[in-house]
C-alpha cells in the first residue's frame, strides 16, 4: 500500500450523484488535492441490486479510475462499500477506502447507551456491514437498521419539504425511537440532505452522523501521513465523469457539491 507521488489525483466513485457529498468533505479537508470523480449514472441506483452486480460495477468503476492514474480510491457509495470494498482492496495496488468503517469508528466514540440506528438502502441494510463493524468495536451493542428506499427518490425530486415525506420519515424512524438509540448513522450519501428533518424527528438527545465527513478525515490522514500531500499540491483540479447524461449530473451535482461544475465527461 503506497500512495506514490503526491501530485496524482485521488479517485472517487459512486452509483451517481450522491458521492459528491463525500467529495465536498474531501475538498474541505484537502483543498489542494486534485480529484477525479466517477458517477455510474447509467446503472444508478445500486441500493437494491445484488452483491454480485454491485461488485462487478465497482470493479469496472475502479479500473476506470486507476487508468486515470489516481493514487487512492474512495468508494463513496455505501452499498458498494458494503459489497465490494474487500474485493477492491485485494484487487488494486493502490489503497481503497470505503465509507462504512470511518463512520463507525467515529460513532462508537459518540454513543453513551451503546444503541445505534442505521439508515440505508436495502442492500446496505441487508449486507449487515454497519452492524458487523459496530459489534467488532462494541461487542453486545444494540443496532437497529432500517432500509429507507423512498428517501432517494424524494431527494432527487427536490421534495425535501413535501408533507408526504414527513409521514415517511416518521414511519422509518419509529423503530429507532422505540429502541431509544442515541446515535444514528446516515448510511447513504443522499441522506445528509434530510439530516435536519431526521434530527427534528429524533430530538436533541440523539446524535445524527453521516459517513462523508468521517471518510474525508481518514483520507486526509492517510495522505498526510504518507507524503504530506497538502503542502505539495498546488491548484487542485477536479474532473468529473459519468456513464450517462452529463448535463443532468452537472446541474443537480452542483447542489450536492456546493460549488459550480464546469465540465462533465462521458465514459
* In the complex, least distance from residue 17 CB atom to a copy of itself, rounded to whole angstroms: 11
* In the complex, least distance from residue 132 CB atom to a copy of itself, rounded to whole angstroms: 22
| Residues within the interface to a copy of itself (CB under 8 A) | 41-43, 48-50, 52-53, 149-150, 153-154, 156-157, 159, 162-165, 167-168, 171, 243-245, 248
- Closest of 38, 101, 31, 71 to residue 249, by C-alpha: 38
* In the complex, least distance from residue 140 CB atom to a copy of itself, rounded to whole angstroms: 32
* In the complex, least distance from residue 100 CB atom to a copy of itself, rounded to whole angstroms: 22
Mutual angle of helices 129-137 and 100-110, in 10-degree steps:
50
Q: Could you confirm whether 188 is annotated as catalytic? A: yes
ω before 173 within 30° of 0 (cis)?
no
* In the complex, least distance from residue 163 CB atom to a copy of itself, rounded to whole angstroms: 6
Check residue 9 and report its DSSP letter. P
Q: Which of 29, 82, 148, 188 is catalytic?
A: 188
Pick the closer one to a copy of itself by CB: 8 or 243. Answer: 243
Pick the closer one to a copy of itself by CB: 113 or 254. Answer: 254
240/52 Cα distance (integer angstroms): 26
Start-end of H helices in 92-190? 100-110, 122-127, 129-137, 151-157, 163-178
Pick the closer one to a copy of itself by CB: 48 or 67. Answer: 48
Q: Which residues contact 63 (CB under 8 A, 6 or more apart)?
A: none
User: Could you give phi then psi for residue 138, rounded to 5 degrees?
Assistant: -130, 85
Pick the closer one to a copy of itself by CB: 26 or 54. Answer: 54
Which of helix, strand or coil describes residue 239? Answer: strand
Pick the closer one to a copy of itself by CB: 110 or 174. Answer: 174
Which of helix, strand or coil describes residue 7? Answer: coil
Rg (CA), the chain: 18
Please give the positions annotated as active site.
77, 188
Amino acid at each position: 500500500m503506497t500512495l506514490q507521488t503526491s501530485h496524482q489525483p485521488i479517485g472517487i466513485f459512486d452509483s451517481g450523484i450522491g458521492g459528491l457529498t463525500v467529495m465536498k468533505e474531501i475538498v474541505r479537508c484537502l483543498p489542494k488535492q486534485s480529484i477525479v470523480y466517477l458517477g455510474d449514472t447509467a446503472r444508478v441506483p445500486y441500493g437494491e441490486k445484488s452483491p454480485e452486480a454491485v461488485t462487478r460495477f465497482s470493479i469496472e468503476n475502479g479500473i476506470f479510475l486507476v487508468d486515470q492514474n489516481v493514487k487512492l480510491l474512495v468508494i463513496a457509495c455505501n452499498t458498494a462499500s458494503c459489497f465490494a470494498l474487500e474485493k477492491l482492496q485485494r484487487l488494486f495496488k493502490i489503497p481503497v477506502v470505503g465509507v462504512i468503517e470511518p463512520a463507525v469508528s467515529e460513532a462508537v466514540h459518540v454513543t453513551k447507551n451503546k444503541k445505534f440506528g442505521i439508515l440505508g438502502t436495502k442492500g446496505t441494510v441487508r449486507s449487515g456491514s454497519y452492524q458487523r463493524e459496530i459489534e467488532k468495536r462494541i461487542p453486545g451493542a444494540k443496532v437497529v437498521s432500517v432500509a429507507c428506499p423512498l428517501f432517494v427518490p424524494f431527494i432527487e425530486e427536490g421534495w425535501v419539504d413535501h408533507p408526504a415525506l414527513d409521514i415517511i420519515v416518521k414511519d422509518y424512524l419509529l423503530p429507532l425511537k422505540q429502541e431509544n438509540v442515541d446515535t444514528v448513522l446516515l448510511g447513504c450519501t443522499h441522506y445528509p440532505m434530510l439530516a435536519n428533518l431526521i434530527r427534528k424527528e429524533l430530538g436533541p438527545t440523539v446524535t445524527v452522523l453521516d459517513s462523508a465527513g468521517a471518510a474525508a478525515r481518514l483520507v486526509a490522514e492517510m495522505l498526510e501521513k504518507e507524503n504530506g500531500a497538502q503542502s505539495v499540491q498546488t491548484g487542485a483540479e477536479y474532473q468529473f465523469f459519468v456513464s450517462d447524461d452529463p448535463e443532468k449530473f452537472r446541474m443537480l451535482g452542483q447542489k450536492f457539491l456546493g460549488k459550480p461544475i464546469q465540465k462533465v465527461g462521458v465514459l
